[in-house]
Structure 1
C-alpha cells in the first residue's frame, strides 16, 4: 500500500498557507531568572597537549582523566602529532563563548522546572575520535558533564570517513546543546518495566521530547530530534500517513520488541517495510510520541510538567485525542 505519496504541488501549497497563519504561542517560552550556577567550560585537552605543563601537574588537576593508561603511554599521547592535529581542528569548530551561554540558558530552564537541579561542572576534551558515537557523558555522582569535541566536527568531516552517514547528521556543533539536554531529560523520565507495549515506548520518548521543548524553547525542533531540516520536514509532511500506518497495522498496542528497532532506535531510516523506507526519517516513533504529547498539552495546557511525567502512557494517549490532519 502506497501510503506515503505526497503530491509536491499540494505540499508546497500547504506550506505556503501555513506560513500565512499566525504562529501558535509557545507555552514553554517562560521568563527564567538565571538562578542556575554559573557555567564554566574547562578544556581538559588544551592542558593535556600543552607540553609546558608537567605531566604530574596535569594528573594532579585531573586525576580521573588518565584512567588505566600507563604513564609512558599517557606521555606519548601528549606529544602525538596526529592527536594534536585532530584536537586543534575540533577546538576550532567550537565557539566556547556561545556554548557557555547556551548551556547556561539550558541549565537555567532545567532548574526552573526542577528546582533541585544543580548545574554540573562542564569539561571539554578530545578522545581523538575514539568516543565520537557517544560523545557526551554525564557523571551523576560527581555532577560532571564531559563533552568530546571530536564528536562535533561537522557532517562530512574527513575524520569521519567510514562512519555511518546517519550518525554524522547530528555531529555538528549545533547538536551539542540539544544532546546535553536530552541526557538530562532522559535522566528525569522513568520507564516502568511493566509497560512494554509500543504505545508505552512511544509516549515515554514523547515525554522526553516535551522536556526538550521546555528546556530548549528557542531551539529548532529538528535539532531536538537529532534530525536534519529535511528529515524533520518529511516527518511533518507524513505525520497523518505515519499514524494511519500504525493504526491500520495494529501496532499501537502491540508488544513486539522489534517495533522499537524499527521505529525508535537510531538508524538511517524507519522500517515500514514499504518502498518508501529509504526516504523516511529515522526514529519516527519518537516523533509520533512527541506529537501525541503535544496534542495532550494543547487540550490541557494548565497541566504541570512534573505532573504530566507521572501520567500513564495509555491515559495520555486516550486524553490527547490525537488525530493528525492530512497535509
Structure 2
C-alpha cells in the first residue's frame, strides 16, 4: 500500500528536524586545522638519564626545555634551581627514591599506550584552534610529580602529573592519606583531558576581578565549562565536570529546586565569600543542599545558563562569549527558566 505523498513529506521533515535537534553545533570540522599541540614526555626523558651522566644530562634537558624545567623543579617537585649548590643531590634523590620508582612502574602500566592520550590532547586543542585561530597552542608536558599538582599551566604550556591519574583504586592514594575520597573519585586517566581543557580555559579567560557576586561567579564558571564543551564535543558531561552518573542525574532532576532555592534565599547577588565558595568550590557535597548533591552545583547551573544563552543566540561566537563579562546580561538573554 502506497503512503500518501503528504505523509511521506511529513516523515522526511520530521527526520530532518530530529537530526537538527541532535546535531551538536560545537562539533565543527577540524580536518583543516594545521595547529597542533606538541606533547613532550618530560618524565620519560628525565628518568631515562643514566646515573653516571646525571648532571650533564639534566643540564641538557634544562637547556632544551628551560621554561618547563624551571617550573618543574621550583614549583612542582620543589627542589630549587639547577644553579643551586645542593640541586644535583636533590634531583638524584628524587629520581632514586623507592616510592617514586614504584610509582614510575605503576604509571607506565596505566599509561601503556601514551599515544592514545597524546591523540586526545591534540584533538582537543585543534578544536580550540578552530574557535581561537589567533591564540597560541600550548606545549604539553607529561611527568611524575610525586603526587603534587595534577595540572599546572603557564604561558603557552601545560603540565600533567600522570601519577595523579592512576585510578580510583590506586593504593598510593589511600596510603598517603592526603587526598579526600571525593577527589580520589576523579583521579583516573579519563579525567585528564577534561581537566586540561578546564585548566587552559581558566588560564586564558578567567577574570576574577570581573566577578563580584555569586551570579557573576557561576556564569563565569559556566562560560569556562562551555569552552570545555567546545574542546571536547564528544565527551560525556559527567567526565567534563567530574561527576558520577548518579551525581549528574541528581543535578538534572533537581535543577528546578536548586534554582528556586538560590532565588528564594536571595543568594544570586550575595557577595559574601563563603556563599560563593559554597557553590563553586570543589567539595563532597553542596552545603545547604541534600547530602546526595555533588559539590560545585553552582558551576553546573552556570553551565546550563550559558548553554541556554548560546542556544538562544547562535550568532554569538565562542570568542565573543568568552570576552563577554556582562554576566547579568547573559542570564537575562538566556531566558533560563528550568521550571
The verdict on a shared fold, with TM-score over 0.5 as the criterion, is yes
Q: 1:48 aligns with which of 39, 46, 49?
A: 46
Measured after TM superposition, the shift of residue 98 of structure 1 is 0.9
Q: Per chain length, whose mean CA-contact separation is higher, i.e. which structure has more relative contact order (CA < 8 Å, sep 6+)?
A: 1
> Could you tell me which residue of structure 2 aligns to residue 234 of structure 1?
250
Q: Structure 1 residues 34 and 108, CA, compared in 2 at 3 Å: closer, same or farther?
A: farther
**What do you get for the CA RMSD once the two structures are aligned?**
2.0
1:128 has 2:126 as partner: no
Q: Structure 1 residues 320 and 238, CA, compared in 2 at 3 Å: closer, same or farther?
A: same
Measured after TM superposition, the shift of residue 269 of structure 1 is 0.8
What are the within-5 Å matches in structure 2 for residues 163-242 of structure 1?
163-191=179-207, 193=209, 195-242=211-258
DSSP-derived class of the 2:22 partner: coil
Give every structure 1 segment of 4 or more consecutive aligned residues whose post-TM-superposition deviation is greater than 6 Å.
none
Measured after TM superposition, the shift of residue 117 of structure 1 is 2.5
Q: Structure 1 residues 127 and 317, CA, compared in 2 at 3 Å: closer, same or farther?
A: same
Q: 2:299 aligns with which of 286, 292, 309?
A: 286
Q: 1:24 aligns with which of 14, 22, 26?
A: 22
Measured after TM superposition, the shift of residue 51 of structure 1 is 5.5
Measured after TM superposition, the shift of residue 192 of structure 1 is 5.7
**Residue segments in structure 2 that go unaligned for 5+ positions in a row:** 1-17, 63-68, 75-79, 81-85
The question of whether the paired residues in 2 share the 8 Å contact of 1:206 and 1:290 is answered with yes
Of the structure 1 ranges 191-200 and 312-321, higher mean CA displacement relative to structure 2 is found in: 191-200
> Could you tell me which residue of structure 1 aligns to residue 110 of structure 2?
93
Which has the larger Rg? 2
**Residue segments in structure 1 that go unaligned for 5+ positions in a row:** 1-20
Tell me the number of residue pairs that the alignment of Structure 1 and Structure 2 aligns: 297
- Counterparts of 2:284 and 2:169 in 1: how far apart (Å)? 15
> Could you tell me which residue of structure 1 aligns to residue 319 of structure 2?
306
Of the structure 1 ranges 55-64 and 243-252, higher mean CA displacement relative to structure 2 is found in: 55-64
